[in-house]
Amino acid sequence: MLGLFSDESNRMLLLLALLFGYLLGSIPFGLILTRIAGLGDVRSIGSGNIGATNVLRTGNKKLAAATLLLDMFKGTAAVLIAGHWGGDYALLAGLGAFLGHIFPIWLKFKGGKGVATYLGVLLGLYWPVALIFAAAWLLVAFVTRYSSLAALVASVVVPVALYLIDQKSISLLFFILTIIVFMKHRANIRRLVSGTEGKIGAKG
């Protein structure tokens, strides 16, 4: 990948891939869907997050599922579209989509925590490990009922699994994304430790 940066035209294309991914990832589907449904601003309830878990706190499971899928597939779309120009473009578009969801320009850089988009990017880059992520998330969520803990555990599993199957470039990307996921979940981690974290399906 580093060799691509030696050519100015390649640098521009890589920057465009990153920007394309960012703009696609920054579409705040949770906010858009709840407003269309007449539920107001999802940022005013629960955690104040625009992601599917907080949308679920409105009591509308279908809307939460739609938010999850759209936030996920914007990451997948960014990867697949940019991937037509090469794997390095796909990696940067995936990074851009993830960052766009977390720091959307339209919402003053205050977005979601990135888990659904993380999964979507993974689905586009190496879908078998996306299945491992999903299995880890479902297992932890089923046992503990904590969405945040499930996301944290699953995000740790991903870069390790990718490294072990010799997908080192993708593993490096997801190592970086996992660090960001943990940073965005700092408050959740504190609540998990103190036993005050909200469980899946709980309102407020």
The answer to the question of residue 204 being in a domain is: no
* Residue 57 · residue 94 · CB < 8 Å: no
Determine the Cα–Cα distance for residues 145 and 6; give it in Å rounded to an integer: 49
Q: What is the domain count for the chain?
A: 1
Residue 200 domain flag: no
Q: Is the dihedral of CA 118, 120, 121, 126 positive or negative?
A: positive
**Nearest-CA neighbor of 181 among 204, 151, 145?**
151
Q: What is the DSSP letter of 164?
A: H
Asked if 101 and 177 touch (Cβ cutoff 8 Å), the reply is no
Per-residue tens of pLDDT for the chain, all 204 residues:
444 445 667 888 999 999 999 999 999 999 899 999 888 888 888 776 788 878 877 878 898 899 999 999 999 999 999 999 999 999 999 999 999 999 999 998 999 999 999 999 999 999 999 999 999 999 999 999 998 999 999 999 999 999 999 999 999 999 999 999 999 999 999 999 999 988 875 554
Structural domain of 44 = 2-194
Residue 129 lies inside a defined structural domain of this protein: yes
- CA distances for 14 relative to 71, 111, 117, 122, 123, angstroms: 23, 24, 20, 19, 21
| pTM score of the predicted model | 0.89
pLDDT digits (tens, 9 = 90+) for 172-188: 999 999 999 999 999 99
Task: Work out the number of other CB atoms within 10 angstroms of the CB of residue 87.
Answer: 14
**CA–CA separation, 111 vs 127, rounded Å?**
25
Domain membership of residue 179 (yes or no) is yes
Rg (CA), the chain: 17
